[in-house]
Amino acid sequence: MHLTCTVVKVVMVVGMLMVMTPNSDALSGKTPPGPGLLGSFTQLKRVVSDFFRSRSAAEMISEKEGGLYQLNLGLSKICFINSRGFRDEAFLEKYHLFSDRGVESNKKQLPEELMQWRGTIRDNGAASEEARAFVNSTLKETSYLRTTVETQIEEAIAFFDDELTGAIPSDLVVPKMIFREHVLDVMTRIAFDTAGHRNTISGQWQFQKFFEDVDALSNSVLFQPGFISTVLPNTKVDDYETNLVGVAKYLKERAEEAIYTNRETSLVQRYSDFFLKRESSIAQPEDGWRLMYDFFTAGVNTVPEVITWDIYYLASDLDLQDKIRQEMKNFGTDVTYDDRTSLPRTMSFLTEVHRLRPVATLGIPHAASADGTIGGYAIDKETLIIPNHWAMHNDPADWQSDPQVFDATRFLKLNGNDLTFDSDKARIVTPFSVGPRSCPGQEVAAGPSF
């Protein structure tokens, strides 16, 4: 994605005018540290090119001094949070100020005719609170996870095991693709209570095309809501318009099918039942596909990436493999996700993977819904707030050993003579973020990885 000379000139003029004109930051207090206009654009281009896929941009931002770092882009500002203290202040203590996705950003992100096909990730205010209420009663509710989700995951794993047993070496050349197919099956069973592996997707909706569309959306839309279009107003959406509508229409059809056939344990049917009982002028019972849109575009790439790193680190350390295998053998029964607290070595290993290889080194942008402060720094309304998971997971103050070195024992401690999982230390690791806008499907994501 490149800036045209015209755009650069316009933004430079606007920026110089802003420098010469007193603004709310100057009047209300200190501004977060950051480069000038040209430096901001140079660093922005790197962030855009590396966003989500690479950790180099997150490392660059984490090297800056202080817990906040702000790019000043004329009329727009992007503030990165590098410290857990500032993140908790923004997303927990002041969530009412910093939990939006950006009203103006939403208007610029997509043309009006495409807004009907978007998911719930950009919703603000009451619409966001309604979606959160449903998520809290399902994807974050223990009994639902145990009675429904765990069963659906186990069914998908059984099918996956059969597929691996019957596979030939040439089938295993691209491990991540295999994991993606498995995760798609898991998510389809949860969302629509039906299998979602390669054999069930045919006709116009080709299996490979689905992943191509989701790739485009997860890189361009879901993980950058309002981000690019805020600072580059002339950015075209033609590249992913077809992907957006295609994925949305497919999920809407699957949702309608699940509701029509009354698949009671499907997530989309529970959504319909939830809003039939709730008076709402925003969400409707038939809108469940919008939440499924977020569910799929957020998970089909990220969960397989974590599993791939799990396999990589295990394959690199045969001694670690043996210890984890022996721990599970000593447990004595078939291991399920509910048993994780009894497997400290396994949990320490998985937590370390999440720490060093978070699914998104830079988190989904929030936006300030009003003028406010973080750590005493003035934050203007509509400033985009991006948590830097890489910086927070690699803060030397939190770790006794080099944080950039993989250490599968990092979250183990001795309790008397017993080796236990250090859950207090593990709370530092937050790849799914924190607060009301944290990832709604984090428990679902953890199941296949475990």
| pLDDT tens digits for range 260-293 | 998 999 999 999 999 998 877 688 889 999 999 9
User: Tokens representing 55?
Assistant: 């950790």
pLDDT at position 42 is 79
Quick check: 274 and 134 in contact, CB under 8 A? Answer: yes
pLDDT at position 423 is 93
The pTM assigned to this predicted structure is 0.84
Residue at 52 is within a domain: no
User: Tokens representing 333?
Assistant: 């029964």
Per DSSP, what are the bridge partners of residue 68? Answer: 81
Report the chain's C-alpha Rg in angstroms: 23
| Cβ-defined contacts of 310-314 (< 8 Å, 24+) | 310/349, 310/350, 310/353, 310/449, 311/175, 313/349, 313/353, 313/406, 313/408, 314/349
Per DSSP, what are the bridge partners of residue 385? Answer: 79, 366
Residue at 155 is within a domain: yes
Side chain identity at residue 383, one-letter code: T
Residue at 228 is within a domain: yes
Residues shown for the chain: 450
Residue at 441 is within a domain: yes
- The pLDDT tens digits of the residues spanning 383-413 come to 989 999 999 999 988 988 899 999 999 999 9
Say how far apart CA 404 and CA 407 lie, in whole Å. Answer: 9
Q: Is 419 helix (H, G, I), strand (E, B) or coil?
A: strand
Nearest residue to 224 (alpha-carbon basis) of 46, 48, 45, 19: 48
Say how far apart CA 166 and CA 185 lie, in whole Å. Answer: 18
pLDDT at position 207 is 61
Residue at 59 is within a domain: no
pLDDT at position 171 is 65
**CA angle centred on 54, ends 49 and 60, rounded to 5°:** 80
Strands 76-81 and 366-367 come out as unpaired
Say how far apart CA 268 and CA 19 lie, in whole Å. Answer: 50
Sole residue written with tokens 């984090």: 442
Total number of domains in the chain: 1
Q: Has 79 been labeled as part of a binding site?
A: no
Question: CB within 8 A of 272, min separation 6: which ones?
Answer: 259, 285, 286, 288
Residue at 118 is within a domain: no
Say how far apart CA 353 and CA 356 lie, in whole Å. Answer: 5
pLDDT at position 323 is 94
Q: Is 350 helix (H, G, I), strand (E, B) or coil?
A: helix
pLDDT at position 369 is 92
3-state helix, strand and coil shares in percent for the chain, rounded to the nearest 5 = 60, 10, 35
Q: Which residues of the chain have pLDDT under 70?
A: 1-29, 48-55, 102-112, 169-174, 197-208, 218-240, 281, 448
pLDDT at position 97 is 94
For residue 1, what is the DSSP state?
A: -
Residue at 85 is within a domain: no
Which structural domain, as residue segments, surrounds residue 209? 125-368+393-449
Say how far apart CA 118 and CA 223 lie, in whole Å. Answer: 13
Strands 412-415 and 418-421 come out as antiparallel
Q: How many CA atoms lie within 13 A of 20 on its CB side?
A: 6
Residue at 160 is within a domain: yes
In this structure, what CATH number is given to the domain that contains residue 247? 1.10.630.10
